[in-house]
Structure formats: structure tokens, C-alpha cells
Structure 1
Amino acid sequence: MDRGQAPAKARLLLADDHEMLLEMFALYLRKNHAFTVETARTFDEAAQKLQTEDPFDVTLLDWNMPGMHGVTGLKRALQLTGGRPVGIITGEALPKVIDETVAAGAAGIVLKSSGVRSLVNALNLILSGERYLPFDLVMRRADPNEESNDTLTKREMLILTEIAKGKRNKEICSDLQLALPTVKMYVSSLCRKLGAKNRLHATVIARDLGLM
């Protein structure tokens, strides 16, 4: 490389059907870091780009976007990239999901809740040839007694569905004829079970897990 010439930017394909999150990540990477970013909102769109555009240095795929079908989409993407790294981006990952992705050859798992700085760190590690797993996922994978995300009660699922509609606690109280402390209790419980930081995060995790 000539002295003074800027290093070539790494080409990233980022695929996720959560439009706001997708654009936020893409904008940050384009503005602040050494990446050129292409985006897709379905697995079929991502697969098309992998087949028709110049090779991507790294590809990140949403675990639960349309057409992905979990590990099936991951394996297909690995075939299309010709050995270049493919990672998973998700709201939450159960131990089974972690095992399946690692066994299939994923370059890493990135949690959407980790934020853009952690995303950059993950991408740099993957580009260096390493596999990236967040520390809390490593610990969860090692603990077979970790509480499963499929333990939501019917009432918690009902509350979660109302939250996903954008309803506030008082609206949920009125619609379901429940007391406000009861609704708050259910919200706290479902967030704890899903490992969510807040109500919005809970809906993202639930969607990625196929719970709603």
C-alpha cells in the first residue's frame, strides 16, 4: 500500500428485518469505522447479494428474519460466502441456539442489546479470524440449569402481546381488567425470564425467539 493511502474498508453484509435497528447499526458503522455496509431485510435478499455482488469480508444474519429458518439459513449462507465468515445477530440466544450455530461453523453471535461499540469489537475479532461469543452467552452455555426462555405463562404472553402493540401499563389494565400492580408484576416477571432490560427489549427478544 502506498504511503498515505487509506486502508481498504472491510465489506459487511448486515441482514435484519428490524428496520430501525438495521439502519442504526449501518449508519454508525459507515460513519465511524472502517466498513462499507450493505443491508438486507430478508434472508432471500441477503442470499441474492451474496451471489451477485462482490465478496463480503463478513456477513451478519438475523437469526429469526423471514426466510432464515435458523441454522438452515446459516448453513446456506456459509456455502454462498465461499469460506468467508458468517455470524449471527440476535436479540437473545438459548444454549441450544448457541450450540447449533457454533457446530454449523458460525463466526460468532452478536447480541442486539450489546450496542454499536460491542458490534464493532465483534466484527474486528471475526475479521481477525477468531470466533466471537459474548461472555454472558459463554457462561449461559456452560450452565445447563439456566432458566429457559420458554417458561412464560399464558398471562405473561398475553401481557407481552399487548406491550408489542405499543400499549402502556394503564391501557393494559383497562383492556384486561387487571390492577396496575398486577400488570407491573407480570411485566417485571416476563422481562426477567427473557433477560430483557426493558419492555421494548422484551418484544425484540420474543420476536427473535419466535414467541410472537
Structure 2
Amino acid sequence: MTTDTPSPLRILVADDHMMVLEMFQQFLSNQPNMEAQTAPDLESALASMDSDGPFDLALIDLNMPGMDGTAGLRKAMERNGDKPVALLTSNPTPAVVADVLQMGAAGIVLKTTSLKDLANEVRFMAAGGRYIPVELIETGPVRTRSRDVSSTPLSARETTVLDLLGEGKSNREIGADLSLAEATVKMHVKSICSKLGASNRTQAVIVAQDMGLI
């Protein structure tokens, strides 16, 4: 007796940061019964929905070109048939969270979520569930990133290190560029991740791009 293999979940990830697209596409496409397609802006995402959709789940970046806030999310929901669409962002305001809930979107995925959690979140929403990170429900926007304190929570040295992280340089290369010991660079990277609420250097760069720090 043969058992039919279920069709893979088809996920669309739309974001204007290439690092986000590469990370999400590589991770999601390596999950069992899942494949990911990407788009760099809202117009491209809508075109993909028209030509290749509807997708089992679309993750739509809040700040990419064409979005106009959550208005772009609504457009994506209208174009993806009756399939779920969720917002992809780093630190949504209470108003954005309220809009997402009010319009009936599938939820919100934080770019700082661990990859292990990401797979579960994607499957949950693709199955028809609604997902909102608990920290957004309990405390509103993610305050741990200190975004209300100043335009940047980072020191001048950390900002310099962050710029080099954004260029894809290793700790050793950053140390050579700045005449710092590699251990000192590691300390700065750890501090940057902590201040930006990121779990690793890649997520730190992604969050920093969303904040306009690099």
C-alpha cells in the first residue's frame, strides 16, 4: 500500500534586505515539505502571487518599498486568495499590531525570532492559526532594544563594528581593520546583539538595517 506524499508548503518571503531573503529562503527550503520563494518589494510580491500563487503563507516586510504601512499588507491579503498572509518586521508599534489583528492577517513574525521557532510559526500560520509573539501582547513593542531612548542604543565603537558586520566581515577581519584583539571584537558583537535584541550577528545586521543604523 502506497502513501501519497503531501505537497510541500509554498512560502513567499518579501523583504528589501537581501540578507533576510537569503536567510529565510535557505532555512525554510531546507525544512521537510517546505519550499520558499522571495520578492524584494511589494510590487514583486503581488506579481508573484498573481503568477505563482496563491502561496500557503506569505511573509510581507513592513518597511519595504511599496508598503505604505499596513496598507501594503492588506493588498497582499487581497491578492493571495484565501491563503494566510503575515507581517514580517523587527519592532512593530502597538498601532501596527492592532492593525494586523483588526484586518485578520495571519500574524506577525519578528526578524529576531530563532530559526527553530520560525519553522513552527510558519507551519502554524500556514495551517490556519494566528500567531502574535507573546512579548508584543504583554509589553507592546520590544522595549529591550532601547529604541525610545535615542536614535541608536549603540556606542560609537559598536556602530563602527556593526558597519563592518554589515559588510560581512569576520571578527578577525574586523579586529585587523580596527586594530582590536579578536576577543574585544567578540565582546562588542555580543553587546550589539544584546542591545538590538538579536540572537546572532546576522539578525543584528537585519535589525540594524530596519532601524536605519546601517
Q: TM-score range by the shorter chain?
A: 0.7 to 0.9
**Equivalent position SS for 2:112:** helix
Does structure 1 conserve the Cα–Cα contact (< 8 Å) formed by 2:42 and 2:67?
yes
Q: Tell me the residue number matched to 1:122.
A: 121
Q: Deviations over 1:6-38 (max 9, x none)?
A: 011122111122223322221222222212221
Q: C-alpha separation between the residues in 2 aligned to 1:21 and 1:73? A: 19
Does structure 2 conserve the Cα–Cα contact (< 8 Å) formed by 1:109 and 1:134?
yes
Does structure 2 conserve the Cα–Cα contact (< 8 Å) formed by 1:94 and 1:149?
no
Does structure 1 conserve the Cα–Cα contact (< 8 Å) formed by 2:62 and 2:69?
yes
Q: C-alpha separation between the residues in 2 aligned to 1:155 and 1:32? A: 35
Displacement of 1:93: 2.4
Q: C-alpha separation between the residues in 1 aligned to 2:137 and 2:176? A: 38
With the length of structure 2 as denominator, give the TM-score of the two structures: 0.73
Q: 1:95 to 1:206 in 2, by over 3 A?
A: farther
CA RMSD between the two structures: 3.5
Does structure 2 conserve the Cα–Cα contact (< 8 Å) formed by 1:88 and 1:108?
yes
Does structure 2 conserve the Cα–Cα contact (< 8 Å) formed by 1:95 and 1:140?
no
Alignment of 1:179-190 (within 5 A): none
Alignment of 1:6-17 (within 5 A): 6-17=5-16
Q: Tell me the residue number matched to 2:210.
A: 208
Q: Deviations over 1:51-105 (max 9, x none)?
A: 2223211111111122223201101111111232100122222323222222232
Q: C-alpha separation between the residues in 2 aligned to 1:81 and 1:207? A: 27
Does structure 1 conserve the Cα–Cα contact (< 8 Å) formed by 2:84 and 2:125?
yes
Q: 1:198 to 1:81 in 2, by over 3 A?
A: closer
Displacement of 1:142: 9.3
